[in-house]
Amino acid sequence: MKIQIFCVGGTIDKIYFDAKSKYEVGSPAIGKLLAELSIHFSYKVDSLMAKDSLEMTDEDRRLIREAVMNSSSDRILITHGTDTMPETARALLGIDGKTIVLTGALAPAIFRDSDAAFNVGGALAAAQSKPAGVYIVMNGEVFDGDKVRKDVEANRFVGLAS
């Protein structure tokens, strides 16, 4: 099974240059994470953009949707910033025949205490086992892409009532 991984930026890919610097979105962290997770299935990684999700536009979401639709894989993982991940998930609804899973991190992957590896591992499992649809995997939970929001105050994702 081949999983297509699209990277679009967000905290998971953030880096810093010195103690006085702001964080900036760097190159995708997924390659290092996958090597550390000892993945034994085939996958392909493509970086579509390197943006903080608060800076994402409708045009960016259109590009992500187009990339997903044009992928030959029916199993898609997207690493994404957490602030607007639900908006992108909703923009991907209606793509038939593909299991699309979005994940990210609340702390940069370069941090020792980051949740990045845990979230990516859960997202990879969901991408391989869930039926076609759009999902968000965060905090050890799998959410339907249209029934989730980020609770900024609690710094976690929560499901929405049906």
**How many other C-beta atoms lie within 10 A of the C-beta of residue 138?**
24
Does the annotation mark 99 as catalytic? no
Q: What is the DSSP string of 42-74?
A: EEEEEEEEEE-GGG--HHHHHHHHHHHHH-S-S
Task: Give me the amino acid identity at 158.
Answer: V
Instruction: Provide the CB-side half-sphere exposure for 14 (13 A, CA).
Output: 22
Task: Kindly give, in sequence order, each residue whose CB lies less than 8 Å from that of residue 65, ignoring residues fewer than 6 positions away.
Answer: 91, 92, 95
Residue 122 near residue 133, CB atoms below 8 Å: no
- 57-67: b (≥16 Cβ within 10 Å) or e: eeebbebbbeb
| Residue 83 in marked binding region | yes
Both structure tokens of 88: 């992108």
Catalytic site residue from 11, 79, 88, 103 = 11
Is 53 known to sit in a ligand binding site?
A: yes
* Catalytic residue list: 11
Annotated binding site for substrate: 53, 82-83
